[in-house]
Every structure is written in structure tokens, then in C-alpha cells.
Amino acid sequence: MSKYDIIVLGSGPGGYVTAIRASQLGLKTAVIEKESLGGVCLNWGCIPTKALLKSAQVFEYLKHANDYGLVVKEYDKDFDAVVNRSRNVAQGMSKGVEFLMKKNKIDVIKGFGKLKPGKKVDVDGKEYSADHIIVATGARSRELPNLPQDGKKIIGYREAMTLKKQPKKMIVVGSGAIGVEFAYFYNAMGTEVTVVEYLPNIVPVEDIDISKQLEKSFKKSGIKIMTSAEVTNVDTSGDGVKAIVKTKKGEEVLEADIVLSAVGIKTNIEGIGLEDVGIAVDRDKILVNDYYQTNIPGYYAIGDVTPGQALAHVASAEGILCVEKIAGQHVEALDYGNIPGCTYASPEIASVGLTEKQAKEKGLDIKVGKFPFSASGKASAAGTKDGFVKVIFDAKYGEWLGCHMIGAGVTDMIAEAVLGRKLETTGHEVLKTVHPHPTMSEAVMEAVADAYGEVIHL
């Protein structure tokens, strides 16, 4: 039996990062992976979707070349080539992880891992043991009872990335990050898209102003939005699909080629031996303490399988913290109130901290500032004037409570707010920090200035 200091079950952005940090700390480490290194994020999520979205963005530039004083007489898309580019990007990233495993002398064990009592893992009949076993098995597309995925007419995100033929009409059920990103991609490529959201607003976890702006931008792009709506039944017996959508006004029948179910995720915790070991689970999540220890000594869990936010960067941070604690380092528990969220549709969305509604519900006296990109010189020059930056501060102490952005490139801007909040920056300090001009990022400074009644360009 092979013996390790640490075995990581799963090689997604939680698992492989955990393994590398463990190896850096001098711990003999192995990773168990049943599919491709990099997990869903690198192979079927974060990375390949961004490749698809970039193709859609370039295609949109071609459509609007005249807006930039350019004449493009002939252009078209090759849907297969777009999909193939995305797959090639994913494969390249997966090979990159493979290189990192070798570089850091981490053993990669291929196969399905099942936890055993006594700090052991069975991989297709062969046993391995470790002082510490970390579960990082991630999640998959969640299925609704009235929307069973058949992989052909009712699909999840995996199939949406590799369709052989571009659909003429698509219904997207759910408007979280996955739903709106695919809605943008297919609409930009020429598919007629309808988004059906059960709650009153699309991207419902975002600040209400962000939701309203995305809906406005999507409708301008030709995407049909149905909120406070529920798909109650889908008939796949014909050539396409007929979806019955229940709304406040009654039932409506939508016809399309394909329905994309984007209603959240389901954790991959079945069949991995949690019951055999006695590891506590509640509502589809493995219960852990601040350092990701389960109720059974020697067994840990990170990433989507735990109650924190199901985000790649959260899984990575949790894994690093977990192994640093195992190695005896002094670590601070992760602040889940300061985790940035990003959505890569067009316009992009990025946010961190409290929404205005949440701040008011807490009874806080707040200052709110907002700066539209329509007043930004850089956005005007780039032709990307949709969106704004919104900031929320505690009125008494100046604490930066929340930051919410929608617009071009805002996913690359949100880190300023995350770092500022981590360092307990006040609104006055942000206001007096000189931002470069012309940039999209100076909208942050202008939004703060608006909160304090000092805005210049609005």
C-alpha cells in the first residue's frame, strides 16, 4: 500500500492547487482524478466558457465594425471552429496542470476514489493511505424533476459547450452566472434566446441595480427575458421542444430547438465513501470547521462540496488554508463576506460585499455612490458605455461595505475593492487615491466621490 502525507480526491481548482501548496510545504502528496486534470473549471467550466465568450465578443466587433469607422464587407462564423477553439484552450490548460503535477513531484492516481475508514482511499480496487485526506470532488449541473436532462434537447452546461449544430432557438432556464453567460454567447452568435427566471430579477444574487441594468442590456441585444416564471413541463416528442412556462399572467408555450437547464449545481458526494467513514453531511454539503476538518479526524473537505460559495477561487483559497493549517502554519479563517463574484456575460458583472438592500436590512446608515460608464472617457472611446460602478460605505466610519460593477472588463477591476476591504480602507482613502486617466478603473474613484458629494464628472 502506498503511503502519503496528503491525498487529495479531485483535481479541480480546489484539488490541484491544494496538492501544489502541500508539496511546496514538503508534504508527500497524491491527487486522485477520475477524468481530466483541472476538473470542471478547466475542462468544462470557467476556462472553455471564456474562450466561447471571447469568440462571441470578436464576432460582435465584426458586426459593429462601422461604429469604429471600419468597413468589413464580408464576415461569418464557423460554429464548429468556435467550439474547437474552446476545447483546445481547455486541453492546453489541462496539460498545464499535468506539467505542474510533475514539476511539484505530485503523484497523479487515475481512477475513481472511495474513502475508507483508517485514512485510506480505494481507487478501483487498489488502496492508498495518508495522514490527511482532502475531499475536493466538486459539483455538476443540477437537474430539476420537471426538467430531466437528456443531453440532446434538454441539456446542461457540458453539452452547451460542445453542440454539433448551433440552435436557431434556445430557452435558458435559470439566470445565474452559467445561464446568462450562455444566453449572451448564443445570442451573440445568432441564436434566438429566451431566459426564464423563477425569481423576480435575473442574476438574483446581485444588487438590484445590477440586475436591472443587465436585463436592459440583454433586451437591447434581443434576448427575451421572463422573470417570476417557471418551466412546468417540456415536451420533447417533436422535432424541437415545447416548454410550458407558468407566469403571473398565466401559462405560455415556448417553442425552441433546445432547452439549457442552468438551475444551479449538485455536489459530487455520492459513492465516495462518506457513509462508510461516518463523515457528517447536511443538505448535500460536507460539514467542516474553519480549517476544513470534517467530524472525522484526518478527513477534510474543500470547494463546492462544502457550505461556502461554489466558486473556483474560493476552492483554491480553502485548499491552501487547509494544508497550511495541517503543516502547522498560523492561518486566519477565510472571510466569506469578502469573496468577489464575477459573471462574464456582456456586459460583465463583478461584485463583493453587501448589496444596498442587505446593508439597509442590517439597519446600517450608509452612503451610496454610483458612476455610469456613459460618463467615462475610456468607455466612450472604447464604445462600451453600458453599465456603472456602485459603492456602499458606512456613513459613520467610512467602512467599504460593498462594491457592485457592471460593464466592460469589470471582472478585472473588482480586486481593488476586495483588497481595499481586506485592508479596512475607508471611503476617504479611496477618494484620495489617484486613479489613472483615462481608464475604466477611475469609475471606482468617481463612484466613491459621488457617495461623498464630491463627484467631478457627473
Asked, for residue 147, whether it belongs to a domain, the answer is no
Asked, for residue 149, whether it belongs to a domain, the answer is no
Asked, for residue 132, whether it belongs to a domain, the answer is yes
My answer on whether 115 and 12 are in the same domain is yes
Asked, for residue 221, whether it belongs to a domain, the answer is yes
My answer on whether 257 and 234 are in the same domain is yes
pLDDT at site 39: 84
Give the global pTM.
0.94
My answer on whether 136 and 7 are in the same domain is yes
Asked, for residue 342, whether it belongs to a domain, the answer is no
My answer on whether 120 and 187 are in the same domain is no
* Distance from chain centroid for Cα 250: 33
Does residue 404 carry a catalytic annotation? Answer: no
My answer on whether 71 and 213 are in the same domain is no
Asked, for residue 16, whether it belongs to a domain, the answer is yes
Asked, for residue 96, whether it belongs to a domain, the answer is yes
pLDDT tens digit sequence for 211-235: 999 999 999 999 999 999 999 999 9
Q: Rounded to the nearest 10 degrees, what angle do helices 312-326 and 15-24 cross at?
A: 30
Instruction: Provide the Cα torsion 246, 251, 253, 259; round to 10°.
Output: 0
Which among 249, 427, 403 has a CA at the least distance from the CA of 339?
403
My answer on whether 177 and 250 are in the same domain is yes
My answer on whether 37 and 107 are in the same domain is yes
Note down the domain range covering 161.
154-263
pLDDT at site 294: 98
Count of domains for the chain: 3
My answer on whether 371 and 355 are in the same domain is yes
User: Which CATH number characterizes residue 368's domain?
Assistant: 3.30.390.30
My answer on whether 226 and 317 are in the same domain is no
My answer on whether 379 and 283 are in the same domain is no
What average pLDDT does this structure show over 289-318?
Answer: 96
User: Which CATH number characterizes residue 107's domain?
Assistant: 3.50.50.60
Task: Report percent pLDDT > 70 for the chain.
Answer: 100
Per-residue three-class SS string for the chain: CEEEEEEEECCCCCHHHHHHHHHHCCCCEEEEECCCCCHHHHHHCHHHHHHHHHHHHHHHHHHCHHHHCCCCCCCCCCHHHHHHHHHHHHHHHHHHHHHHHHHCCCEEEECCEEEECCCEEEECCEEEEEEEEEECCCEEECCECCECCCCCCEECHHHHHCCCCCCCEEEEECCCHHHHHHHHHHHHCCCEEEEECCCCCCCCCCCHHHHHHHHHHHHHCCCEEECCCEEEEEECCCCCEEEEEEECCEEEEEEECEEEECCCEEECCCCCCHHHHCCCEECCEECCCCCCECCCCCEEECHHHCCCCCCHHHHHHHHHHHHHHHCCCCCCCCCHHHCCEEECCCCEEEEEECCHHHHHHCCCCEEEEEEEHHHCHHHHHHCCCCCEEEEEEECCCCEEEEEEEEECCHHHCCHHHHHHHHCCCEHHHHHCCCCCCCCCCHHHHHHHHHHCCCCCCC
My answer on whether 159 and 136 are in the same domain is no
- For residues 98 and 160, what is the distance between their CA atoms, to the nearest angstrom? 26
- For residues 33 and 234, what is the distance between their CA atoms, to the nearest angstrom? 35
My answer on whether 316 and 294 are in the same domain is yes
* Contact between residue 324 and residue 21 where contact means Cβ atoms under 8 Å apart: yes
| Catalytic annotation, pick one of 313, 404, 428, 437 | 437
Asked, for residue 285, whether it belongs to a domain, the answer is yes
pLDDT tens digit sequence for 56-113: 999 999 999 999 999 999 999 999 999 999 999 999 999 999 999 999 999 999 999 9
Cell of 282: 447536511
- From 263, 288, 313, the end of a domain falls on 263
User: In this model, does residue 179 exceed pLDDT 90?
Assistant: yes
- From 216, 234, 263, the end of a domain falls on 263
- From 317, 336, 355, the end of a domain falls on 336
Task: Show contacts of 309-314: CB within 8 Å, 24+ apart.
Answer: 309/336, 309/339, 309/341, 310/139, 310/265, 311/339, 311/341, 312/12, 312/13, 312/14, 312/41, 312/45, 312/46, 313/13, 313/339, 313/340, 314/339
The per-residue pLDDT of the chain, averaged, comes to: 95
What average pLDDT does this structure show over 415-439?
Answer: 96
pLDDT at site 35: 87
